[in-house]
Chains A and B, each alone.
Chain A
Amino acid sequence: MLYFANWKVLLICGVCALGVLFSLPNLLSPAQLSWLPAKIPHKQVSLGLDLRGGSYLLLEVDIAAAQREQLNSITDNVRDTLRNEKIGYTGLNVQGNAIVFTVRDADRIEDARAALGKIDSALTVDIGSDGAGKMQFSTQATDQRRQQAVDQSIEIIRRRIDETGTKEPTIQRQGQDRIFVELPGIDNPEHVKTLLGKTAKLTFQLVDTNTTLDDARRLMPAGDEILPAADTAHGGASAYVVRKKVMVGGETLVDAQVDFQNGIEPAVRFRFDTVGGKRFGDATRENVGKPFAIVLDNKVISAPVIKEAILGGSGIITGSFTTQQASDLALLLRAGALPAPITILEERTVGPDLGADSIHAGAVASIVGVALVVIFMFLFYGLFGLFADIALFFNLCLMLGSLSLLGATLTLPGIAGIALTMGMAVDANVLIYERIREEMRSGRTMLSSLEAGFTRAFGTILDSHVTTLVAGILLYWLGSGPIKGFAVTLSIGVLTSLFSAILVTRLEIVSWLRRWKPREIPL
Chain B
Amino acid sequence: MIRPLIVIRRVPKIDFMRWHVYGFAFSILLGVVSIGLFGTIGLNYGIDFKGGTLIEAKTQGPADLAAMRAKLDDLHIGEASLQGFGAPDEVLIRLPEQPGGDAGQMKAVELARQALGTGIDYRRVEVVGPSVGAELIRAGGLATVLALVAILIYIWFRFEWQFGVGATISTIHDVVTTVGLFAIFQLEFNLTTLAAILTVAGYSINDTVVIYDRVREAMRKHRTMPFRDLINLALNETLSRTILTVSTVALAVLSLLFFGGEVLKGFSIAMLWGIVIGTYSSLFIAAPIIYYIQPSRRAIAREPAPADSEPGRPPTRPRSARS
Contact = CB atoms under 8 A, between A and B. Distances in A.
Interface of A: 1-3, 50, 58, 60, 187-188, 190, 193, 197, 343-351, 353-354, 357-358, 361-362, 364-366, 368-370, 372-373, 376-386, 412-413, 415-416, 419-420, 422-424, 426-427, 430-431, 434, 438, 441, 444-445, 447-448, 451-452, 455-456, 459-460, 463-464, 466-468, 470-472, 474-475, 477-483, 486-487, 490, 510, 513-514, 518, 522-523
B103 A343 contact: yes
22 contacts: A2-B320, A197-B106, A345-B128, A346-B128, A346-B129, A348-B124, A351-B121, A365-B258, A369-B254, A380-B5, A382-B4, A416-B267, A420-B249, A423-B252, A427-B206, A434-B240, A463-B209, A470-B151, A471-B198, A478-B140, A483-B192, A513-B323
B261 A377 contact: no
Contacts of A523: 4, 7
Contacts of A373: 248, 251-252
A488 B7 CA distance: 36
Nearest to A418: B252
A71 B117 CA distance: 45
A53 to B, nearest CB: 9
Interface string B227-240: 00000000001101
A376 B202 contact: no
Interchain residue pairs A-B with the least CB separation, the first 5 = A423-B252, A361-B261, A471-B202, A369-B255, A382-B4
Contacts of A456: 306, 309
A186 B139 CA distance: 29
Given A447-B320, A510-B323, A347 B126 contact: yes
A379 B4 contact: yes
B249 A424 contact: yes
Nearest to A458: B306
Contacts of A379: 4-6
Given A190-B113, A373-B248, A523-B4, 5 more contacts: A349-B126, A353-B121, A383-B3, A470-B150, A523-B7
B176 interface: no
A382 B7 CA distance: 10
Interface string B97-136: 0000111001001100100000001111111110110001
Contacts of A471: 147, 151, 198-199, 201-202
B189 interface: no
B320 A468 contact: no
B203 interface: yes
A255 B132 CA distance: 37
B248 A426 contact: yes
Interface string B185-209: 0000001101100110111011001
Contacts of B151: 467, 470-471
B190 to A, nearest CB: 10
B247 interface: yes
B315 A361 contact: no
B143 A475 contact: yes
B106 A193 contact: yes
Nearest to A353: B123
Given A419-B256, A431-B241, A351 B198 contact: no
Contact of A420 (B103, B252, B259): B252
B56 A416 contact: no
Interface residues of B, number: 88
Contacts of B142: 478
Contacts of B103: 343-344
Contact of A475 (B5, B58, B195, B248): B195
B146 interface: yes
Contact of A413 (B56, B195, B309): B195
Contacts of B56: 354
Contact of A444 (B250, B258, B315): B315
Nearest to A465: B206
A424 B245 CA distance: 7
Query: B interface, by DSSP: helix, strand, loop or mixed?
Result: helix
Given A344-B103, A376-B251, A474 B58 contact: no
Nearest to A451: B320
A427 B248 contact: yes
A184 to B, nearest CB: 15
A383 B198 contact: no
- Quick one: which of A58, A354, A361, A467 has the most chain B CB within 10 A? A467
B322 interface: yes
B251 A482 contact: no
Nearest to B204: A467
A420 B253 contact: yes
Contacts of A188: 113, 122
B88 to A, nearest CB: 16
B271 interface: yes
Contact of B267 (A382, A413, A445): A413
Contact of B154 (A187, A353, A441, A467): A467
B129 A368 contact: no
Contact of A349 (B125, B198, B250, B322): B125
Contacts of B261: 357-358, 361-362, 365, 412
- Quick one: which of B142, B150, B158, B199 has the most chain A CB within 10 A? B199
A412 B192 CA distance: 10
Nearest to B214: A460
Contact of A364 (B241, B254, B259, B263): B259
Contacts of B248: 373, 376-377, 423-424, 426-427, 430
Contact of A460 (B139, B150, B210): B210
